[in-house]
Amino acid sequence: MIKKIILNIALVGIVVFVLDFAIGRTLRYFYFRESSGLHFRSTYAMEQTRADILVFGSSPAVHHYIPELFESTLNMTFYNTGRDGNGAFYQLAVLKSVLKRYKPKIIIFDWSDTFKKDVSSYDRISSLLPYYRTHPEIRDIIEYKSKFEKVKLLSEIYPFNSEVFTIAIGNLNVNKQRKPDNKGFVALYKEWQCKINAIIPNPKYPVDTLKVNSFREFIVLAKEAGVKVFVIYSPMFLKFNRFQEFDICSKVCAEQKVPIWDCSRDTVFLKNNRLFQDIGHLNYKGAVIFSKQILEKIKTENQVKTPTL
Amino acid sequence: MIFTSFNFLLFFPATVIIYYLTPVKFRWLTLLFASYFFYICTKPVFALLLAGVTLSTYIFTRLIDSTSIERRKKLLMQINVCLILFPLFFFKYFSGINYAILVFLESIHVRLDLPDIKLILPIGISFYTFMAIGYTVDVYNEKIRSEKNLGMVALFISFFPLVLSGPIERAKNMLPQFNAIKPANYEMIVQGLKLMLWGYFMKLVVADRLGIYIDAVYGHVSQHNGTSLLFASILYPFQEYADFGGYSIIAIGTANVLGINVIQNFKRPFFATSMSEFWRRWHISLISWLTDYVFTPLSFTFRKYKTWGIVIALMITFFLSGLWHGPALTFIVWGLIQGILLSIEALTNRKRAGFEKKHNLNRKGWYIFAGICVTFILFSASEVIDRATSINEAYHVFHRIIATRGTLFIGTPSTLIFSGIGLTMLLLKDFFDEFLPSRMLLFGSKHKFVRIMAYSSIIILILLIGVFDGGQFIYFQF
């Protein structure tokens, strides 16, 4: 009986192994063949870009920095590596992959994440899974997700879990028309219609030291590579109570002697419906004003050094 | 440790191997160790509570069995029920009652600066408490003899497949199985593995994927229009079924692999044609527990009121069912709605049955379909209250469904596409099991090739579109 059970389980195991290998490899092939969309932008940021100015961060980063303005004003090339919903871990992983290849001149780190201990931040590391095999420099970050990640990654399908549809879309031209990006920047064109007056409370939370350390490591690595780093708090429609993360951010930035600019309380933007698409994201009009502001600040700092390549 | 954690995928095969390597006589001991290890892995300190409930139940059932004086027996039974209910009330209702008192005092301008106490509910407490109560009452009613071996009682209450979320088993079914553990049975092991696989599919592919959409809508009720809220409200019962039904199937399958039979907890509830039938198919173990230990004694007490006695018993039973879910007003209202719906059916039952018989409606497809639709609509509507965080929010959901229109919120298209694939497969399987039980047998096909391909395809589908970063099981909160 035991022999029969083991034999049947082995049979299922073999079929699963073959299917997993075939489907996983196919997905991998098409994942790295994508020519637009989230996956493509991540791959491009980690494996191809050689831009002088790189923007890091989550969704505000993706929507707030106009490439043409930066390129024409600073006379440098530009790429936006931001990815929606991804915090310190993802940014650090992308930076490590970038620094393995070359040294950019300026890094704008748009910090909109919190340092709160929450499972979802670790779940988001999933977006790095396709790169585990080819990017040994980011493996330690991926293993933050769980201690079993190495074992799970024995499956060829696992890194592409829930991505079938996105991979298919990324390989079609339709995606370029539906959600086009310009050097990683995705413009938003709607205006925020809702009226919200309340200040959203943000109670004190337990800090995730791993996130703080990743944020610090990001700045240290960039500085060690001779890159000029600017940490920015993007404008918000409302005044959020973000004292806790701002305190931590300021402390790390002060200790690393990196400028930090809090634009989340800038009255040009606060409660200005015309400049926002939603409470956390500027529309194109807002992004133009904000990009110009940041460029002014960078010019004022006027400390851009040419790194040695 | 939960069934969907990677830890469980290591724990379970290890337990099975050790279990079958242990001599049959001592297998119950392996199960007991495994069960406590499993429970300790969730939060060690709560294992003390589990042990306390076990010890109290053991001592009192032994005392009940050893006395012949009826009044003394009853007193012992009542003491034990109170003792084992105390932790449940304390952890589940203390914060709620405390908050309600503070709100009441504030309304009469008495302000007390008391600390806000938030207690963590020991996982599974509602389930194992009911199992312990059932066992105590059964011993008192002399349906079974008290178990002499403390270890067996401990195993019954802590049995790891059931301890976190049921099914709420009975001692008369479980204790004889633990006392006479049978040698490995090929059919049962295979059946268990099949059930586990399907349970994982229900949970990871259907429930957690639907949950992404439903949470996005219900998490921001004021920002969504009636169309999206209606759609999310229709999907929610399916999420609950796939989540809790999936959990139950994994639990039953896990027990089967260990050679233990456990009662069915869900029986294709969305093919029920009336609310009373629905409640014979949904969370069967809880409803049968409530029927035996609450409804039947109550309807006996109120028998002089005839049909109205049944109505009173139904209302009290479902009020308690709502309260069992939690101390929130939403759960109580939800329970009362179920009671009202079932009471209406009870009151109209005779006339309806006569009408159906006269026109031979029970054999007509359109009538069965209409019954299924009406039952689903009634249940979905009541679930809006269950899902909402407050009565006020439930009112807003209903109001927006009726008053606002607009385009459907899609979110990430893949969420709805994958949900659609999973839900279609789940409902198709249930449809065939319900109406055409000998057709489309994939897991049960005569051909080995078909079976192997079916198992493998489900595993691949889980890997491809399952949600691995999903939340906990919905019923863990109860």
Both tokens of residue A101?
């290849």
For residue A148, tell me if it sits in a domain. no
Both tokens of residue B117?
């106490």
Residues in A touching B469 (Cβ below 8 Å): 119-120, 123, 126
Distance CA B231, CA B235 (A): 6
C-alpha angle A72/A75/A81, rounded to 5°? 80
pLDDT tens, position by position, A59-93: 999 999 999 999 999 999 999 999 988 889 999 99
Q: Are B339 and B315 a contacting pair, CB within 8 Å?
A: yes
pLDDT of residue B197: 96
Q: Do A158 and B463 touch (CB under 8 A)?
A: yes
Q: Do A162 and B456 touch (CB under 8 A)?
A: no
Interface of B with A (CB under 8 A): 6, 20, 184, 186, 189-190, 223, 413-414, 417-418, 452-453, 455-457, 459-460, 463-469
A198 touches chain B (CB under 8 A): no
pLDDT band at B1 (very low <50, low <70, confident <90, very high): confident
pLDDT tens, position by position, B95-140: 777 777 777 787 787 776 666 666 677 889 999 999 999 999 999 9
ipTM above 0.85, yes or no: no
For residue A90, tell me if it sits in a domain. yes
pLDDT of residue B117: 61
Q: Taking residues A262-271, report their average pLDDT.
A: 86
Q: Do A1 and B186 touch (CB under 8 A)?
A: yes
Q: Do B414 and A126 touch (CB under 8 A)?
A: no
pLDDT band at B468 (very low <50, low <70, confident <90, very high): confident
CATH code, domain with A279: 3.40.50.1110
Residue B183 has pLDDT above 90, yes or no: no
Task: Find the closest chain A residue to B7 by CA distance.
Answer: A148
Considering only CB atoms, B467 lies closest to which of A5, A119, A162, namely A162
pLDDT of residue A266: 86
Q: Do A164 and B413 touch (CB under 8 A)?
A: no
Identify from B453, B456, B467 which residue to disrupt to test chain A contact, counting A C-beta atoms within 10 A and taking the largest count.
B456
Considering only CB atoms, B455 lies closest to which of A12, A20, A126, namely A12
For residue A204, tell me if it sits in a domain. yes
* Domain of residue A69, residue span: 33-117+162-301
Of the candidates A244, A248, A246, A285, which has an alpha carbon nearest to the alpha carbon of residue A263? A246
pLDDT of residue B114: 64
For residue A243, tell me if it sits in a domain. yes
Both tokens of residue A190?
């709607």
Task: Find the closest chain A residue to B459 by CA distance.
Answer: A16
Considering only CB atoms, B464 lies closest to which of A4, A152, A157, namely A157
Q: Starting at the edge strand that comes first in sequence, how are the strands of the sheet with A78-80 ordered?
A: A78-80, A53-57, A106-110, A228-233, A260-262
Residue A303 has pLDDT above 60, yes or no: no
Residues in B touching A162 (Cβ below 8 Å): 414, 418, 464-467
Task: Find the closest chain A residue to B194 by CA distance.
Answer: A9
Residues in A touching B418 (Cβ below 8 Å): 162, 165
A11 touches chain B (CB under 8 A): yes
Q: Residue B116, exposed/middle/buried by CB under 10 A (0-12, 13-18, 19+)?
A: exposed
Rounded to a whole number of angstroms, the distance from the CA of B193 to the nearest CA of chain A is: 10
pLDDT of residue B143: 94
Residue A307 has pLDDT above 50, yes or no: no
| Domain total of chain A | 1
Q: Taking residues B3-22, report their average pLDDT.
A: 93
pLDDT of residue A309: 41
Q: Give the sign of the dihedral formed by CA B101, CA B107, CA B108, CA B109.
A: positive
Identify from A4, A16, A21, A278 which residue to disrupt to test chain B contact, counting B C-beta atoms within 10 A and taking the largest count.
A16
Q: Do B413 and A165 touch (CB under 8 A)?
A: yes
Alpha carbon separation from A113 to A91, A117, B59, B63, B365 (Å, rounded): 11, 11, 54, 60, 55
pLDDT of residue B66: 92
